[in-house]
Structure 1
Amino acid sequence: MFLDKNRITFNTTVAKHSTLVMELDIARRAGYTAVEITQDKVRKYLDAGYSVDDLRRELDGLMVHGIGALVDIERQGTAEKELSREADKLFMLASAIGAKGVQIVTGPLDVQAVIDFKANGYSKRYTGLLQHSHDDQVRLTVKSLAAIAGRARDYGLTVYLEALSWTPLSSLEQQVDIVRRAGCDNLKLVIDFWHCYTSGATPQHLSKVDRDYIYGVHVCDSLPHLDGVPLEPILRDVRTGSGVLNLRDWTDAVKATGFDGWWCSETFCKKQQQGNSYAVAKELKRQLETLVFS
């Protein structure tokens, strides 16, 4: 059960400040059999002179559920060509290391662009589809998702969407809708408790999601979010399990869908990220196993 279903997966945020090799050592020593990693660390490893074969040896015995992330996936016009180049580059890397999926993220990634736009109606930063009507946001995002999923299929990859809660179409209902509209069997969602909470979803909403849309789950926590644009560095600076989210309720909501794929704990808590990552990884694994298996 621990290996084939409901696999407890190590997330890179636990070892944010480590090298890739140290991160994988932390994961192994804590007892994880699967990882979700970032392309930034992988590319730094390769840029240092190591080969893809070296990387495969470092990953030996660990399933790579995902590597992230392809960001601002709604880019249009000339920026869309750059998006396609970035996608192919990331998909090629993911395929080479045997990753099963690639995380894709809506934009604008830079939350300050959203703050500027809400205050002034414009921003000098990349604003994504903020200036578009809702119908156009849906149409253009669905078009982008379908194109990205089509490219990923050529590499045998699943792409999984995380709609950042400060971006357009970020509600759980909207995420399910745009994935459904795209109609690609290799396009899924990652359920992130923090992004769900700060975009207005509840465990009750989550329990009604079709399990076939869910690729993986990010278990995480939050400080209270009352209104306005959610500020991730502030609201996520809390130990997982010590914030306002009832992790049992959120986890049970996912389980109620019938989902039995992979789960990981994310932490953006500065104390945890600056502490003993070996101990934090073990602590989060024990916590997650309790939530998922009891």
Structure 2
Amino acid sequence: MKKALHGISTHYCNILTDARIAHDTGYESLELLSAKLVRYLDNGGTTKKLKQVTDGYGLSVGCVNALLEMERYKGEEKKAMLAEATRLTRAAAELNCPTVQILALNGIDDKADDTVMDIITENVSAIASIGEEYGVRYQIEVIAFTKFRTLQQGLEVIRRVGKQNVGMVIDFWHLYAAGSPPEEVAQMDKDLIYGVHFCDGRLPKPGEPWDQMVLRNYMPGEGEIDIQAYVDAVKSTGYDGMWSAELFSPDRWEYDLYDIATLCRENMEKYIG
């Protein structure tokens, strides 16, 4: 098992400082936010330099998170999406990072359910083909406030695509909020679990919008989710990969980031041992 610092937990921090914090606060790996990585590269940074830094700290880069709006399927929009996928995939390969996260947002929520699944399947297959060239795999994150939202939908896309480099990330909040219980996680093939997002939150109250800044503003153990049940479900599969401490919390983002990283690690260790 590897404990990773998720880049969202230190939201306002740049990527090189993320690496220093992860090293200093007891992590073995990093889950890099793609926005931080792209900003770093766009402003003169290189993957070679970044790898030197992470290697120097004894850290692996476990995941690049994420290719957003993978549902883009029309003309130039799809070309742009695949270009973004290629850039992130190439960067991951250069960082010796095995996994890029991919997710759909609300761009096709007006489509019928069958059409949503067809579009996602076609796009994931195209993305996976890019990864085959670079030796990189992809973890699908299903997003609770979209039409492509459940664990079973994600697993069905993996089945349809039929490639060996597509799996799932088990994000506690998204699965809980979409109605995918720990029992479904426990039934998974461990080889299809590429990562775990250790996080908490709650459902929106009647009439309340799906605002992640509000609904996820909780340290694990403070929200509605039975964290231990999800942890136990993952462990029951035999999974022994990366666990990523993900704190989506505007309140905590204003704390000292070293303190936040330490709290996230200690909290995660309390549950997973």
> Normalised by the size of structure 2, how large is the TM-score?
0.93
Partner of 2:235: 255
Tell me by how many angstroms 1:230 deviates. Answer: 3.0
Summarize the Cα distance change of 1:48–1:84 in structure 2 as closer, same or farther, 3 Å threshold. Answer: closer
Aligned partner of residue 21 in structure 1, secondary structure: helix
Partner of 2:62: 65
Distance in 2 of aligned mates of 1:17 and 1:168 = 30
In the alignment, the residues of structure 2 paired with residue 22 and residue 158 of structure 1 have an alpha-carbon distance, to the nearest angstrom, of: 26
- The alpha-carbon deviation at position 193 of structure 1 amounts to 0.4
Alignment of 1:209-228 (within 5 A): 209-226=188-205
Shift of the alpha carbon at 1:227? Answer: 5.7
Alpha-carbon distance between aligned partners in 2 of 1:270 and 1:66, rounded to the nearest angstrom = 23
Contact 2:177 2:202 in 1 (8 A): no
Please show how residues 1-294 of structure 1 align to structure 2 within 5 Å.
6-60=1-55, 61-78=58-75, 79-108=77-106, 128-226=107-205, 230-293=210-273
Question: What are the superposed Cα offsets for residues 161-186 of structure 1, whole Å, 9 maximum, x if unpaired?
Answer: 11111111211111111112111110
CA distance in 2, matches of 1:201, 1:230: 17
Aligned-pair distance for 1:68?
1.9
Q: How far apart are the structure 2 equivalents of 1:131 and 1:249?
A: 34
1:118 maps to what in 2? none
Q: Distance in 1 between matches of 2:132 and 2:206?
A: 39
* Native 8 Å contact 2:66 2:100 kept in 1: yes
| Post-superposition CA distance 1:30-71 (Å, at most 9, x none) | 111111001222232233333332222111121111012111
User: 1:222·1:238 contact (CA, 8 Å) conserved in 2?
Assistant: yes
**CA distance in structure 1 between the partners assigned to 2:12 and 2:167 by the alignment:** 29
Q: Determine the C-alpha separation between the residues in 1 that align with 2:5 and 2:92.
A: 17
In structure 1, distance between residues paired with 2:203 and 2:83 = 39
Please say if residues 220 and 267 of structure 2, whose CA atoms lie closer than 8 Å, have aligned partners that are also in contact: no
Look up the SS of the partner of 1:138 in the other structure. helix
> Unaligned 5+ residue runs, structure 1?
1-5, 109-127
Counterpart CA distance in 2 for 1:170 and 1:285 is 27
Q: CA deviation at 1:102?
A: 0.5
> What one-letter code is carried by the residue in structure 1 that aligns with 2:248?
F
Paired amino acid for 2:237: T
Q: Does structure 2 conserve the Cα–Cα contact (< 8 Å) formed by 1:160 and 1:190?
A: yes
Distance 1:214 1:227 in 2: 33
How far apart, in 1, do the equivalents of 2:170 and 2:47 lie? Answer: 30
Structure 2: which 5+ runs fail to align? Answer: none
Equivalent pairs, count: 269
**Residue 29 to residue 144, structure 1, CA distance change in 2 (3 Å):** same
Superposed CA offset, 1:4-53 (max 9, x none): xx211111112111121211111000111111001222232233333332
